[in-house]
């Protein structure tokens, strides 16, 4: 019979907490007074991409926001609030946008599948498909197109982060803040750096130009770098 109370998870938690305390008896006491994470992770909700686990960090090391297809939408106050607190209060030094290959949300958009409310959220992926249609149709099979789109989505979200007023203000004040684009392979457990590591408006403009050149993005779509 299945347990209604999830006793198994609670038992696993007790074992986990005890193992950490065995290593460092003061670990939780020290953490209870403050958090000073250096990283903000923005990733997909996918159960196969457990952010702190896959970079082997402990509680207290990373501030986290996850949603379907790791998107940073300009008017999403949930994500913006996380970013604001991370940048202005916690003063994280790095924002990592991490996508993953084989993302189900991105595949649903690519195949134009319908699941209800979430279709509206995934419209943002459709926008990316439309903007990069020439580049994406150059891939012969669906799997390579999906992987390319998963990477493009990370780059687009890195740009969305960098175009945000919070990031611009931090950079204008001289605050040390670097935005990274990574992608994770569910099939091998490894992270890849997509080589978009941006710490200034100029680096953002250069990265956007490089992507536009690589993908044949219409000039209209890469104009303007300020929010």
Catalytic positions, written as ranges: 44, 46, 48, 100, 103
Query: Do residues 92 and 61 lie in contact, with contact meaning Cβ atoms separated by under 8 Å?
Result: no
CB of 46 to Co ion, least distance (A): 4
Out of 103, 152, 170, 211, name the contact with Co ion by CB under 5 A: 103
Give the relative orientation of helices 201-215 and 142-162 as an angle to the nearest 10 degrees.
160
Strand 190-198 to strand 178-185: parallel, antiparallel, or no bridges (unpaired)? antiparallel
CA 135, distance to chain mean position in Å, is: 23
Binding segment for Co ion (CB under 5 A), chosen from 6-14, 95-103, 147-155, 181-189, is 95-103
Q: Are 122 and 39 in contact (CB under 8 A)?
A: no
Q: Among 41, 46, 136, 150, which residue sits at the site for Co ion (rule: CB under 5 A)?
A: 46
Q: Rank residues 44 and 131 by Cβ distance to Co ion and give the closer one.
A: 44
Q: Select from 9-17, 76-84, 97-105, 132-140 the region that touches Co ion (CB under 5 A).
A: 97-105
SS3 98: strand
| Structure token digits, residue 147 | 């992987």
- 152 lies in the site for Co ion, by CB under 5 A: no
Q: Report the interhelical angle of 77-84 vs 165-172 (nearest 10°).
A: 20
Stretch of residues binding Co ion (CB under 5 A), selected from 100-108, 166-174, 175-183, 193-201:
100-108
| Out of 40, 42, 43, 44, the residue judged to bind Co ion by CB under 5 A | 44
Residue 8 sits at φ, ψ, to 5 deg, of -65, -40
Told to check if 86 binds Co ion by CB under 5 A, we report: no
Question: In the complex, which residues of this chain contact Co ion (CB under 5 A)?
Answer: 44, 46, 103
């Amino acid at each position: 019979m299945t347990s209604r109370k999830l006793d198994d998870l609670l038992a696993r938690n007790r074992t986990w907490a005890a193992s950490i305390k065995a290593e460092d008896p003061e670990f939780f006491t020290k953490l209870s007074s403050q958090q000073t994470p250096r990283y903000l992770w923005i990733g997909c909700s996918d159960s196969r991409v457990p952010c702190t686990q896959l970079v082997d960090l402990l509680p207290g090391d990373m501030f986290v926001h996850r949603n379907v297809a790791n998107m940073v939408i300009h008017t999403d106050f949930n994500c913006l609030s996380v970013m604001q607190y991370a940048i202005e209060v916690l003063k994280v030094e790095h924002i990592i946008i991490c996508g993953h290959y084989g993302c189900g949300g991105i595949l649903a958009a690519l195949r134009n599948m319908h699941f209800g409310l979430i279709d509206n959220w995934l419209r943002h992926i459709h926008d990316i498909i439309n903007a990069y249609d020439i580049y994406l149709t150059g891939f012969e099979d669906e799997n390579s197109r999906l992987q390319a789109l998963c990477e493009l989505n990370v780059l687009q979200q890195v740009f969305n982060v960098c175009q945000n007023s919070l990031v611009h203000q931090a950079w204008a004040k001289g605050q040390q803040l670097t935005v990274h684009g990574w992608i994770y392979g569910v099939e091998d457990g490894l992270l890849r750096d997509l080589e978009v590591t941006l710490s200034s408006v100029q680096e953002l403009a250069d990265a956007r130009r490089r992507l536009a050149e690589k993908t044949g993005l219409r000039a209209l779509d890469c104009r303007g770098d300020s929010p």
